[in-house]
Amino acid sequence: MEYRPLGRTGISVSELCLGAMMFGAAGNPDHDESIRIIHRALDAGINMIDTADVYSFGESEEIVGKALAGGLRDDVVLATKVGLPWDDRPGRGGTSRRWITRSVEASLRRLGTDRINLYQIHRLDPATDLEETLGALTDLRAQGKIRAFGASTVPASGIVEAQWVAQRRGLGRFRTEQPPYNILTREIESDVLPTAQRYGMGVLTYSPLAMGWLTGRYRAGMQAPDSGRAHVFPGRFDPALPANRRKLEATEALAVLADESGLSLIEMAIAFVLRHPAVTSAIIGPRTMDHLESQLPAADVRLSTEVLDRIDEIVPPGVTLNPEADNMSFSSALEPANRRR
């Protein structure tokens, strides 16, 4: 397992990060099995775990906390997030000082720790001034409750604005960005990744397997598997949509390329993400031990220039095949219409 600097935070993290979104009621409700998956990831050399307060409404954080009890905490770079709403009641989400201050205490309690290595804004809140958000995070860092802070799914313009506000107001700045990135969703190559590099930010990418598209489960001539994700995000999986047919065609070509290269499609997909010079770590989110075991070998894969060129022929750089469903979702998840979804 290779370790890389997380931007200019002074923290080194493994090139694979264990995402904990699938631990708990929303994925794997078996706490003991989830803990075994976490321990297996740590044994394989992964030293970073990424979760969020809203993942299974706090249950994910509780599972991670139990897994790290007994002396493992000091060896792990622990990241969590704040900002997405817990329900439709006013004040139960966002990035105000009040909500951040309240939420970090709850996360610390569930995680069973006295500090969080990386505290991330899950989505920027258009209803809260950036100065208030950055001010609250800066104070938490001064108090020792968090070591560094970052954000997730911020467009390049938002990254620049946040850096500008921090500089002008003498506040701490976002040190990391967490965007979606995979072979089928490459738009961040055009602006987000270069912007993050310009500011020396660490980049933790999520969804390297494109919500299952790059696992081999979706193939031509096969009935699409029934999944919770397909019900929640029908636009990303409906085979009747032309954009998804393009994704299916690309997946078929990528599967052939992976086979010719002596790799599984999963290994090639994750290795592709790790190959970009702006990417610090790829977040993998296994639900089962088999999922984890199928993804770990990608850390040892180094794609050749020839393979990368062929991937570019299948999905050109900077292109997202289904931009309406798979884009960065820059519109705030805090808005009422998105809460209803």
Residues with active-site annotation: 55
Strand stretches in the chain, DSSP E: 3-5, 12-14, 16-19, 48-50, 77-82, 116-121, 146-152, 176-178, 202-205, 281-284
Of 311, 324, 239, whose CA–CA distance to 270 is shortest?
311
CA distance 337 to 76: 37
Neighbours of 120 (CB within 10 A): 26
CA distance 137 to 140: 5
CA distance 102 to 329: 26
φ, ψ for residue 33, nearest 5 deg: -70, -40
Name the amino acid, one letter, at 40: R
DSSP string across 4-62: EE-TTSS-EEESEEEE-TTBSTTSB--HHHHHHHHHHHHHTT--EEE--TTGGGGHHHH
Dihedral sign of CA atoms 2, 326, 87, 161 in order: positive
For residue 191, what is the DSSP state? T
Q: Which residues of 140-162 are buried (b: 16+ CB within 10 A; e: fewer)?
A: bbeeebbbbbbbbbbbbebbeeb
Dihedral sign of CA atoms 248, 249, 252, 257 in order: negative
Quick one: which H or E segment has residue 106?
helix 97-111
Contact 85, 334 (CB under 8 A): yes
